[in-house]
Amino acid sequence: MVATFKNYQDLSAFAANKIIRLVKHKKNAVLCLAAGDTPALTYHLVVETAKREAISFSEIIFTGLDEWVGIGPDIPGSCYHFLQQKIFGPLGIKKTQIHFFNSMATDLQQECNRINTIIQTVRGIDLALVGIGLNGHVGFNEPGIDPAGNAHVVTLDEVTSIVGQKYFKTNTALSKGITLGMAQIMQAREVLLLANGAKKAAIIRRTLKEDISNAVPAGFITTHPNGWILLDEEAAAEL
């Protein structure tokens, strides 16, 4: 389903409402949340609503979507640090509720296996909120990935490495990522893909107009039975 909103505020409010409704309905829901600029306002609105309405997140389970390999969780620019600042901290989420990739692990394959096991144990993801890269990636599922894969380590596309620098105060080597696989995202009971701004218009056109293939991984979400592509008018400008 594709939904276009007048602006980023309206898009974010819709996504935030989806999360709030799920948490109200299912106290132990499993959420998979992306870091990045696009979902930042969504998380702010979730926190605002949860505090205003005294909605408890005490039993919610969070699983990470992806992380930069070699970037510790306390480093500003890491995916974990972003989510800690935007939603985990403000909502008082306990560390026992958070299952995130340890991108500093000496055995990254074992780390992938650990996250795969956790997702199986909690019986899958209820809602995955993801963004879209300028190259069509979802998480760090870069163009050319195996859409049937689970958690894996990936060599980052040059576009991802360059764009990722904006999250760091100093130039940072970003060569590899660790991510949930496309299969795990597609197995989530609901997927929200958010895109805003004119810079995303070209890749949104490719996502929605080109034949679905791993050349643009985000395109797979259009086949999800409960998948949403949420756009503001600028991101939808080339449709």
In the chain, the domains with their CATH numbers are 2-232 (3.40.50.1360)
What confidence tens digit (pLDDT) does each residue in 219-234 have? 999 999 999 999 999 9
DSSP 130-186: E---TTS-BTTB-TT--TT--SEEEEPPHHHHHHHGGGSSS-----EEEE--HHHHH
Question: Helix or strand or coil: residue 63?
Answer: strand
Give the angle subtended at the CA of 227 by the CAs of 226 and 228, to the nearest 5°. 125
Q: Is 5 helix (H, G, I), strand (E, B) or coil?
A: strand
SS3 content of the chain, % helix, strand, coil (to 5): 40, 20, 40
Nearest to 193 by CA among 158, 223, 150: 223
| Interval 143-170: pLDDT, tens | 999 999 999 999 999 999 999 999 998 8
Residues marked active site are found at: 66, 135, 137, 142
pLDDT tens per residue across span 164-188: 999 998 889 899 999 999 999 999 9
